[in-house]
Structure 1
Amino acid sequence: MKSLLWFLVGIAGGFVVAHFMNKDPRGHEILAEVDGRITEFTDRIGDAYREQEARMSGLVDDVKGAAADAVENARAAASDAVDSAADAAKKLTD
């Protein structure tokens, strides 16, 4: 509980310091630079995430296509096996 209190005091103190820094032109410039770097970092992370998401989406589409092809091939093989069995049964009864 004591750690939580110190954590909250630290956050509140950080806001107070940032408020006073923002009033000074030099402090305002420093905070603007930090904000710009944070924005650049988050933009890069977002771009990397979207790129990875697109790559994964392409892989998923490829796997779906391969699975559909496998199902179709299995269906065709099963159909051929049923036809062959029917022909063999017909030959036995004739």
Structure 2
Amino acid sequence: MKNVLWFLFGIAGGFVVAHLMNKDPRGHEILAEVDARISEFTDRIGDAYREQEALISGLVDDVKDAAAGAADAARSAASDAVDTAADAAKKLTD
């Protein structure tokens, strides 16, 4: 509980210091620069995330297409096997 209190005290202190810095023109510039750097960082992370998402989406689509092709090939092979077995059975009964 003591650690939570210190954590909350630190957050409140940070807000107070940031508010006081923002009132001073030099502090305002510093906070604006920090904000710009954070925005640049989050934009880069967002771009990288979207790039990876597109890459993974493309891979998933490729795997789905391959699985559909394999399923079609298996279905065709099974159908051919059934037809061959039916022909063989018919020849045995004739």
Shift of 1:12: 0.4
Equivalent position of 1:90 in the other structure: 90
TM-score after normalising by structure 1: 0.99
Gaps of 5+ in 1: none
Equivalent position of 1:57 in the other structure: 57
Q: Deviations over 1:50-74 (max 9, x none)?
A: 0000000000000000000000000
| Sequence identity (%) | 84
Report whether the alignment pairs 1:81 with 2:81. Answer: yes
CA RMSD of aligned residues (A): 0.4
Equivalent position of 2:27 in the other structure: 27
Q: Which amino acid aligns with 2:39?
A: T
Q: In the aligned structure 2, how far is the partner of 1:74 from the partner of 1:9?
A: 66
The structure with higher relative contact order (CA 8 Å, sep 6+) is 2
When the two structures are aligned, how many residues end up with a matched partner? 94
Q: In the aligned structure 2, how far is the partner of 1:2 from the partner of 1:93?
A: 89
Aligned structure 1 segments of 4 or more residues deviating by more than 4 angstroms = none
Gaps of 5+ in 2: none
Q: In the aligned structure 1, how far is the partner of 2:4 from the partner of 2:88?
A: 81
Q: In the aligned structure 1, how far is the partner of 2:54 from the partner of 2:24?
A: 44
Equivalent position of 2:12 in the other structure: 12
